[in-house]
Structure 1
Amino acid sequence: MKFIIPGRLDGLNEYTKACRGNAYGGNAAKKRNQKIVKEAIQQAVKEGRLAPVEIYPIQLRIQWFEKNRRRDIDNIVFAKKFIQDALVEAGILEDDTQRHINQCHDLVFVDKDNPRIEVELAEESRGKKGEQ
């Protein structure tokens, strides 16, 4: 199962700045980013490309397509927190604990004309729901 988030999400630097800006800045940034992710999830569900996960644990494979090479990789991939929380909030995942997601793979590329984030949820071949 796969879905695509157009554009980019806030990185760690933007999130940290929002947290330091005022008492509610971090929460507002988290909600804003999760809303972007949830819209992409809802579109994929509508198109039949995404459904609630039934077999756990899963792997998350995320390809980050940035418009340039200015942001550090660790800054970019921080946004997986927003992705995981939105997947739970949208009902695609029961939870984002290690029992539910046991691997995350990140690859970062440059696509100046089409920045995006491609998220794939892949079943882990070893476990089933409730095991481990």
Structure 2
Amino acid sequence: MIRVTIPGRFAGMNEFIEANRTGKRNWNKANTMKQRDQAALLAVLRPSLRGKRIKYPIHLSYRFYEPSARRDKDNISGYFHKIFQDALVIGGWIPNDGWKEIEGFEDHFDIDKGNPRIEVEIREVNR
């Protein structure tokens, strides 16, 4: 099992949807947001996963530590699932984020006002 801690918090699904609703002049706002957040993730993942091989399929366990309970849980997790799993592909740790590579995932939520973060466990699934 591999554990990775990502400090801070990321935009939620509501912010991503709003970015997708921008007018034609700002057509790439959501893509810019996604690219920025994936770059931030890769900056954490590259040193954390350096030299580690991930045999797939994998199961991902996400634990979100939010500063408060203001955001809905599905708003917190939906966008992050997308950018994290895409970052695993971009970084070359898995070839794709489809059914063959990702067996499933689960979410857990806690409050930590002083230290918001996301902890992810990557577990190889033996078949």
Match of 1:39 among 23, 43, 46: 43
Task: Give structure 2 stretches of 5+ with no counterpart.
Answer: none
Distance in structure 1 (CA, Å) of the matches to 2:94 and 2:11: 22
Specify the code of the residue in structure 2 equivalent to 1:20: R
Query: Partner letter of residue 121 of structure 2?
Result: E
Q: What pairs up with 1:26-105 in 2 under 5 angstroms?
A: 26-46=30-50, 51-54=52-55, 56-78=56-78, 79-105=80-106
Q: Could you tell me which runs of 5 or more consecutive residues in structure 1 were left unpaired when the two chains were aligned.
A: 127-132
For the Cα contact (< 8 Å) 1:34–1:83, is it kept in 2? Answer: yes
Q: CA RMSD in A?
A: 1.2
Percent identical among aligned pairs is: 39
**Which residue does 1:114 correspond to in 2?**
115
Counterpart in the other structure of 1:130: none
Q: Structure 1 residue 30: deviation in Å?
A: 0.5
Q: Which residue of 2 aligns with 1:19?
A: 20
* Distance in 1 (alpha carbons) for counterparts of 2:98 and 2:72: 26
Shift of 1:88: 0.7
Distance in 1 (CA, whole Å) between partners of 2:96 and 2:85 is 9
TM-score (norm 2): 0.90
Runs of 4+ aligned structure 1 residues displaced above 3 Å come to none
* Deviations 1:51-102 (CA, angstroms, capped at 9, x unpaired): 2312x21100111111110110010111110000011101111110010001
Once residues 34 and 27 of structure 2 are traced to their aligned partners in structure 1, the CA distance between those partners, rounded to angstroms, is: 13
SS of equivalent to 1:117: strand
Q: Measure the CA separation in 1 of the matches of 2:44 and 2:90.
A: 13
